[in-house]
Amino acid sequence: MELFPHIKRQDTAVYRAITGEEKRQAEGLELIPSENYVSRAVREANASSLTNKYSEGYPGRRYYGGQEYTDAVETIAIERAKKLFGATFANVQPHAGAPANIGMYFGLLEPGDTVLGMDLSHGGHLTHGHPVTYLTKIFRFVRYKMKNVETGEIDYDEMRKVAKKEKPKILLAGYSAYPRELDYAKFVKIAEEVGAYSVMDVAHIAGLIAGKAVKNPFDYGFDVMTTTTHKTLRGPRGGMILTRENADIAKKMDKAIFPGLQGGPLMHNIAAKAVCFGEALSPKFRVYAKQILKNAKAMEKVFAKHSVRMIAGGTSNHLILADVYGSLGISGKDAETLLDEVGITLNKNSIADDTRSPMDPSGIRFGTPAITTRGFKEKESARVAEIMVETLKHKTDKKRHRVAREEIRRLCKKFPIPASFV
Ligand SMILES: *Cc1c(COP(=O)(O)O)cnc(C)c1O
């Protein structure tokens, strides 16, 4: 079957870019921990005629006519999201993770209010108050950190002290580069002590929570969760806000996303979210989520065997942060480029308290959601980790790199990107 026949006929330049990317994804290994492969069903929903429809508002309360099917599809997405995460409310309209967070802030805060979040070099996200974002012109961000970078333990005593002093209105958890689980009960207790909302940005681990491979923050009393839908959750690019039991917060979230922040929702995207949530509710998804963790452990073992330092000492989730500069004498940027040449895509990453610049930091960040979707088990994951370490150790050995590139190509052929997960 020919893919994209209409684009091919009509627009050669775009056709080349799309098919080039299809080939790149098919023939290389994706280890960026925030990426994944969606099913054909999700892609079909995303390409559907729902993209033509304006539906400002929410199901049953729209500003335009003709909402019979958009109401149906958004309601399906909301109900499935609630079931997946044990929530009582879901807003599935945020276009991505960043707008979900911005909406959450606008809903819960007044300008000038304070947010206590993780130090950015210890794993927080841009939207958690990085100085380059406009958020820092509106709100005040203060920080907590890991107490011990070698174990990943958070400094809860310091967190409590800072919280009592700074009086944040939001105590924010959730990270882009943190490989351990939080002590959620302790976290919620501190938030309650200072009268702050407890919010967890689960963008990276939403699929692990939905698949019950890690704990659900709602079980420990968190007020709000924000997330993306395209990382471990394996859905279309998008965002979402979830709450539990507090109707007042729920109302604030709906108002903040529309009309506060966004216009018309992307209905084709919401349909794709609904399809993804349907997949994530299937028993197979739990097997998938658990395998992501097993594969990360298998990679951790190899890096430990080669004495490569890992931030937090290893991983309890889907990602690993390795200090390649400290352990192998190659910078994060050079490691990223070199591994790209052998067909392994990952990203350079600052490590906690990094002394190098963010553009050429000490670390690399990688994870197992995408290779697990391809069907990799522990054996293949460990093999990829071996190839990574050997490549980085012999950074000028071109022949070795060619052999590694061939092996990666063979692995990709043996484990093609699947069309369906159910
Ligand atoms: C990826 C991520 C986001 C932002 O998601 P986008 O879809 O890229 O806007 C927000 N928070 C965390 C913790 C993330 O990892």
From ligand 1's centre to the CA of 403, what distance in Å?
A: 35
- What is the spatial distance between Cα 255 and Cα 262, in angstroms, rounded to a whole number? 10
- Number of independent structural domains in the chain: 2
What's the distance, CA 189 to chain centroid?
A: 26
How many other C-beta atoms can be found within 10 angstroms of the C-beta atom of residue 132? 7
Q: Which of 247, 280, 313 is the last residue of a domain?
A: 280
Percent of the chain at pLDDT > 70 equals 100
Q: Are residues 94 and 140 in the same domain?
A: yes
Q: From atom 5 of ligand 1, which residue's Cα is the shortest distance away? A: 97
User: What is the CATH number for 160?
Assistant: 3.40.640.10
- Which among 15, 54, 69, 220 is annotated as catalytic? 54
Q: Are residues 393 and 270 in the same domain?
A: no
Residue 74's pLDDT is 98
Element (H, E) at 296: helix 283-305
| Residue that has been written with the tokens 């939403």 in this structure | 206
What's at 400, amino acid-wise?
R
Examine residue 387 and state whether it is found in any structural domain, yes or no: yes
Residue 117's pLDDT is 94
Does the structure show a pLDDT above 70 at 1?
Answer: no
Told to judge if 405 belongs to the known catalytic residues of this protein, a careful annotator would answer no
How many other C-beta atoms can be found within 10 angstroms of the C-beta atom of residue 362? 27
Q: What is the pLDDT of residues 345-394, one digit of tens each?
A: 999 999 998 999 989 999 999 999 999 999 999 999 999 999 999 999 99
Torsion of CA 340, 297, 148, 172, to 10 degrees: 80
- Which among 201, 336, 354, 380 is annotated as catalytic? 201
SS3 category, 158:
helix
Upstream peptide bond of 94 is cis (omega within 30 degrees of 0): no
Contacts (Cβ under 8 Å, ≥6 apart) of 332: 324, 325, 348, 349, 350, 356, 360, 361, 362, 363, 364
Does the structure show a pLDDT above 90 at 83?
Answer: yes
Atom of ligand 1 nearest to the CA of 238: 7
Residue 305's pLDDT is 98
What residues make up the domain containing 212?
A: 44-280
Q: Are residues 194 and 163 in the same domain?
A: yes
Nearest to 103 by CA among 233, 246, 308, 240: 240
- Which among 70, 227, 228, 391 is annotated as catalytic? 228
Q: Are residues 264 and 172 in the same domain?
A: yes
- What is the spatial distance between Cα 123 and Cα 224, in angstroms, rounded to a whole number? 20
Q: Which ranges in 308-377 belong to alpha helices (H)?
A: 324-328, 332-341, 369-373
From ligand 1's centre to the CA of 14, what distance in Å?
A: 27
Q: Are residues 254 and 300 in the same domain?
A: no
Nearest to 69 by CA among 277, 278, 274, 282: 274
Atom of ligand 1 nearest to the CA of 237: 7
Q: Are residues 239 and 311 in the same domain?
A: no
Q: From atom 6 of ligand 1, which residue's Cα is the shortest distance away? A: 97
From ligand 1's centre to the CA of 228, what distance in Å?
A: 6
- What is the spatial distance between Cα 103 and Cα 241, in angstroms, rounded to a whole number? 9
Cα 289 to Cα 25, 103, 156, 393: the distances in Å are 21, 28, 28, 31
Average pLDDT value for residue range 213-233: 98
- What is the spatial distance between Cα 176 and Cα 205, in angstroms, rounded to a whole number? 9
Atom of ligand 1 nearest to the CA of 174: 13
Cα 380 to Cα 101, 110, 285, 292, 376: the distances in Å are 36, 50, 20, 12, 6
Average pLDDT value for residue range 237-258: 96
- What is the spatial distance between Cα 209 and Cα 134, in angstroms, rounded to a whole number? 30
What is the band of 213 on the pLDDT scale with cuts at 50, 70, 90?
Answer: very high
Q: Which residue from 120, 125, 202 has its CB within 8 A of the most atoms of ligand 1, so it is best to mutate?
A: 125
Residue 2's pLDDT is 77
Does the structure show a pLDDT above 70 at 28?
Answer: yes
Examine residue 37 and state whether it is found in any structural domain, yes or no: no
State the pairing for strand pair 363-367/347-349. Answer: antiparallel
Examine residue 250 and state whether it is found in any structural domain, yes or no: yes
Length of the chain, please? 422
Examine residue 338 and state whether it is found in any structural domain, yes or no: yes
Q: Which of 280, 307, 337 is the last residue of a domain?
A: 280
Q: Are residues 381 and 326 in the same domain?
A: yes
Entry pTM: 0.97
Examine residue 161 and state whether it is found in any structural domain, yes or no: yes
Told to judge if 134 belongs to the known catalytic residues of this protein, a careful annotator would answer no
| Residue that has been written with the tokens 């910078």 in this structure | 331
Examine residue 39 and state whether it is found in any structural domain, yes or no: no
Q: From atom 15 of ligand 1, which residue's Cα is the shortest distance away? A: 176
Q: Are residues 248 and 393 in the same domain?
A: no
Percent of the chain at pLDDT > 90 equals 95
Q: Which of 255, 280, 305 is the last residue of a domain?
A: 280
Average pLDDT value for residue range 165-185: 95
Examine residue 30 and state whether it is found in any structural domain, yes or no: no
Q: Which residue from 119, 199, 228, 257 has its CB within 8 A of the most atoms of ligand 1, so it is best to mutate?
A: 228
Name all residues whose Cβ lies below 6 A of ligand 1. Answer: 34, 96-98, 101, 125, 127, 174-176, 201, 203-204, 228, 239
Does the structure show a pLDDT above 90 at 246?
Answer: no
Q: Are residues 118 and 259 in the same domain?
A: yes
How many other C-beta atoms can be found within 10 angstroms of the C-beta atom of residue 13? 8
What is the band of 263 on the pLDDT scale with cuts at 50, 70, 90?
Answer: very high
Nearest to 40 by CA among 371, 373, 390, 386: 373
Residues forming beta bridges with residue 319, ordered by sequence position: 367
SS3 category, 407:
helix
Nearest to 156 by CA among 116, 196, 127: 116
Told to judge if 56 belongs to the known catalytic residues of this protein, a careful annotator would answer yes
Residue 422's pLDDT is 86
| Residue that has been written with the tokens 């960026």 in this structure | 32
Told to judge if 228 belongs to the known catalytic residues of this protein, a careful annotator would answer yes
Mean pLDDT of the chain: 96
Residue 122's pLDDT is 85
Residue 245's pLDDT is 83
Told to judge if 300 belongs to the known catalytic residues of this protein, a careful annotator would answer no
- What is the spatial distance between Cα 27 and Cα 417, in angstroms, rounded to a whole number? 10
- What is the spatial distance between Cα 270 and Cα 91, in angstroms, rounded to a whole number? 10
User: What is the CATH number for 347?
Assistant: 3.90.1150.10
Average pLDDT value for residue range 308-320: 97
Q: Are residues 355 and 220 in the same domain?
A: no
Q: From atom 8 of ligand 1, which residue's Cα is the shortest distance away? A: 97
Residue 179's pLDDT is 95
Q: Are residues 105 and 245 in the same domain?
A: yes
Told to judge if 113 belongs to the known catalytic residues of this protein, a careful annotator would answer no
Average pLDDT value for residue range 25-39: 96
Examine residue 89 and state whether it is found in any structural domain, yes or no: yes
Q: What is the pLDDT of residues 328-347, one digit of tens each?
A: 999 999 999 999 999 999 99
- Which among 231, 273, 348, 365 is annotated as catalytic? 231
Q: Are residues 295 and 196 in the same domain?
A: no
